[in-house]
Amino acid sequence: MRPAFTIAAATVLAFTLIAAAPPSYRVTGAIKAADGGWDYAAIEPDSQLLYIARGSEVTEIDLAHGTTVRAFGEVAKGHAVVPLPGHKLLVSSAHDDTVRLFDTPTGTEETRIKTGADPDAALFDAASGLAAVMNAKAGTVSVIDVAKRNVVRTITLKPGLEFAQIAPDGTLFVNNEDENEIETADLRTGKVGVAIPLPGCTGPTGLALDPVTHVLISACANGKAALVDANARKQTGSLAIGAGPDAVILDAARRLAFIPCGRDGTLSIVALDGANGLAIIATIKTAIGARTGALDPRTGRLYLPTAGFGPAPAGGGRPAMVSGSFQVLVVSPD
């Protein structure tokens, strides 16, 4: 007869394995909004409001009711939307080399701050109160004191800057899609560090940093995700993903990362704690064009902006958007 404690231990183990199993994901809905271009999206943590950077404005969506609330602001090709403390929103405006600070309850623009050429990705470091704005064409980073609303330093890197992450020690990691590497610098002093080469990665754009494993995940245009040890400053491997990614979205609580791949309309799901390290555990169908997005950490839902497009023009260039097709896909855990 098997001892009772062995059966009890097996039962505990079974429940542990069930609890540890990652959820499966599927598209569960879509939220319509006005047509137009888009780039990054972000969720204001305590309001359940989703903000999307658009060509000339910001779109606000109420996630609690699944409806578009309004469009507000005036930007010249919006790239990044960054929620700040006190219900403020930083928006990068690429064509006039500025960032705008908006009051989100009223939608009122409060100030404009001059940056380098072509401000693109941006992020906020709560520990220092500093925002970092990646100026893609200039190859510089504008470091902004958001309380004082001015640029406190400019870090000179290389042109081609894309998304970035900030480590707890203040190290700034920035994808460079032209050089196929990750630039490094100290956000708080401006000192430039050694670049990290990404062999086998072409055109890195989206970037995430796992605070537990200290691994950077860089999404590459050639269907790869480069894995980098942030402490050792060295690439340790890569994962096969879909085509056309532009973001890596981290869910640290559920120990997952998501890479939306817009060219083939798929979402690659990465387990952060696999037996052999980070690993792709699922690929689900989303929609062509869904390349960026935002995560609601409370629900685990992902929100991916996208739209339909007609055939490519005979002479080249981008195809026209299908009228009335812009929407935000809702991807939910089962």
Domains (range + CATH), the chain: 24-333 (2.130.10.10)
Q: What phi and psi values does residue 28 have, to the nearest 5 degrees?
A: -115, -5
Contact 63, 43 (CB under 8 A): yes
- pLDDT of 136 > 70? The answer is yes
The pTM is what?
0.92
Q: How confident is the model at residue 20 (pLDDT cuts 50, 70, 90)?
A: low
For residues 198 and 266, give the distance between their C-alpha atoms in angstroms, rounded to a whole number: 23
Percent share of the chain, pLDDT over 70: 94
pLDDT digits (tens, 9 = 90+) for 74-118: 999 999 999 999 999 999 999 999 999 999 999 999 999 999 999
Locus of tokens 């001892």: 3
- Give the model's confidence band at 18: pLDDT under 50 very low, under 70 low, under 90 confident, else very high: very low
Mean pLDDT of the chain: 93
d(CA 155, CA 220): 24
Mean pLDDT, range 124-143, rounded to an integer: 97
Q: Which of 128, 66, 57 lies closest to 89, judged by CA?
A: 57
CB neighbour list of residue 15: distance below 8 Å, 6 or more residues apart? none
Q: How far is CA 99 from CA 89, 140, 144, 153, 161, in A?
A: 10, 14, 10, 15, 16
Could you tell me if 187 and 130 are in contact, meaning their C-beta atoms sit under 8 angstroms apart? yes
Asked whether residue 198 carries a pLDDT value surpassing 60, the answer given is yes
Beta-bridge mates of residue 144: 131, 151
pLDDT of 206 > 50? The answer is yes
| Residue 254 tokens, joined | 């559920």
Length of the chain as a residue count: 334
Q: CA 161, CA 100: separation in Å to the nearest integer?
A: 20
